[in-house]
Amino acid sequence: MDGSVLDFAQVRAQFPILQLRENGQPLVYLDNGATSQKPQMVIDTIERYYREQNANVHRGVYGLSERATELYEGARETSRQFLNARSTKEIVFVRGTTEAINLVAHSWGRANLQAGDEVIVTEMEHHSNIVPWQLLRDQMGIRLTVLRMNNRGEVCLNALKGLVSEKTKLLAITHMSNALGTINPVKEMVEIARSVGAKILVDGAQATPHMRVDVQDLDCDFYALSGHKMYGPTGIGVLYAKEALLEAMPPYQGGGDMIYSVTFEKTEYNVLPYKFEAGTPNIAGAIGLAAAMRFMVSIGLERIAAYEAGLLSYATERLKQIDGVRIIGEAEHKGGVVSFILDGAHPHDLATLMDQDGIAVRASHHCAMPVMQHFNVPATVRASFGVYNNRDDIDRLVAAIEEAKEMLL
């Protein structure tokens, strides 16, 4: 086989859940934007941890605890390599993207922002990259400014240049939109933020499952990801942040493991990254996430991206052929997400009928209500791809839409 081609059958066979039947039909799972399925090696890694390796980390002098600590810290090194961070001090384990952004808002935001300072977000953000900044706006009087998008779902770099000023302290943007699939020109946006001395936070929840991310190349200040969207377990994610920023930031939560010494008068905080990891962490989750990263690397991140680009163009072409289907989000640079509506049918009715054919898609505002407002729709149906989807899945999706059309219209 050509070394650049993904061995689909071999990849798909690693996902036991894909053998399921739903409503009598083989499952077609196209809701990867919400969460991905898990390969056997991730499931086995977590199971083995609880069967053979479980102990609390950073505490015991006994062998079991030392081994659990090695696995947990090994997962940090795997995450560092995956993102190409300079140091493991820059890798903070969190619950997921939502917690990562809240950590930055509450720790960096409260320490560095003042009334009148500005945070810029794009119009296509997930609520988890809007609401934490609104909380700061209401509590501290910062300004929240929106970089609008065009009708293809793209931001305009010139508009951003016009928006930033010396009041802009942070640009908080998604790398890839969950509702539209748009991939933003992060590197160029970083340069524009830098021109006024602003920091930049990138929400990588949707990007990390689909492409190689190199935080040094992007030169962003903060990067957030969720393990469960990239073939790993729920309840674990990573906040990458530049070491100097983390060093200067106050702790986000207080508790065990994040301290060096405590008296009632004074507490000295632990070194990085432990200062930001209060309490017993999600040890199994971190180890499972590292297994998921190894899974992706073993396939090849460029190969995953190229394979999914093929799926996206096939799906786009097939969906466009259906009378009455309108694709929402037609950016030039897109990842494996297609959002669409069918004229005259409510997205929820369409998705419910598709479920009867064994097809899992999401019909909702996708926690990006401003995107729905922009396109003046209440919701869309979204098919989002993973590495185990193929053209047959898209053919089944298209057939199910045709069938639903007969019933609904």
Residue nearest to ligand 7TS (CB): 178
| Nearest partner of 204 among 144, 129, 274, 148, judged by Cα | 129
- Min dist CB 97 to ligand 7TS, Å, is 4
Of 37-45, 95-103, 251-259, 288-296, the segment contacting ligand 7TS by CB under 6 A is 95-103
Single residue of 32, 178, 184, 270 touching ligand 7TS by CB under 6 A: 178
Q: In what order do the strands lie in the sheet with 168-174?
A: 91-94, 237-241, 222-226, 199-203, 168-174, 118-122, 143-147
Single residue of 14, 30, 32, 33 touching ligand 7TS by CB under 6 A: 33
Could you give phi then psi for residue 78, rounded to 5 degrees?
-60, -40
Q: Give whichever of 113 and 205 is closer to ligand 7TS, judged by the CB atom.
A: 205
Single residue of 80, 126, 374, 405 touching ligand 7TS by CB under 6 A: 126
- Min dist CB 218 to ligand 7TS, Å, is 16
Q: 188-217 mask for ligand 7TS (x: CB under 6 A)?
A: ---------------x-xx-----------
- Min dist CB 224 to ligand 7TS, Å, is 7
**Catalytic-residue membership of 156:** no
- Min dist CB 386 to ligand 7TS, Å, is 13
- Min dist CB 252 to ligand 7TS, Å, is 15
Q: 310-339 mask for ligand 7TS (x: CB under 6 A)?
A: ------------------------------
State yes or no: residue 37 binds ligand 7TS (CB under 6 A): no
**Angle value at C-alpha 95, between 90 and 97, nearest 5 degrees:** 70
Single residue of 37, 107, 122, 128 touching ligand 7TS by CB under 6 A: 128
Single residue of 169, 334, 366, 405 touching ligand 7TS by CB under 6 A: 366
Single residue of 144, 297, 367, 398 touching ligand 7TS by CB under 6 A: 367
Single residue of 98, 184, 380, 390 touching ligand 7TS by CB under 6 A: 98
Q: Give whichever of 173 and 291 is closer to ligand 7TS, judged by the CB atom.
A: 173
Please pick, among 146, 367, 398, 399, the residue that the annotation labels catalytic. Answer: 367
Instruction: Give the 3-state secondary structure of the chain.
Output: CCCCCCCHHHHHCCCHHHHCEECCEECEECECCCCCCCCHHHHHHHHHHHHHHCCCCCCCCCHHHHHHHHHHHHHHHHHHHHHCCCCHHHEEEECCHHHHHHHHHHHHHHHHCCCCCEEEEECCCCHHHCHHHHHHHHHHCCEEEEECECCCCCECHHHHHHHCCCCEEEEEEECECCCCCEECCHHHHHHHHHHCCCEEEEECCCCCCCCCCCHHHHCCCEEEEEHHHCCCCCCCEEEEECHHHHHHCCCCCCCCCCEEEECCCCEEECCCCHHHCCCCCCHHHHHHHHHHHHHHHHHCHHHHHHHHHHHHHHHHHHHHCCCCEEEECCCCCECCEEEEEECCCCHHHHHHHHHHCCEECEEECCCCHHHHHHHCCCCEEEEECCCCCCHHHHHHHHHHHHHHHHHHC
Number of residues that bind ligand 7TS (CB under 6 A): 15
Of 92-100, 114-122, 280-288, 351-359, the segment contacting ligand 7TS by CB under 6 A is 92-100
Contacts with ligand 7TS by CB under 6 A lie at 33-34, 96-98, 126, 128, 174, 178, 203, 205-206, 226, 366-367
Q: Give the residue numbers annotated as catalytic, written as ranges.
A: 367
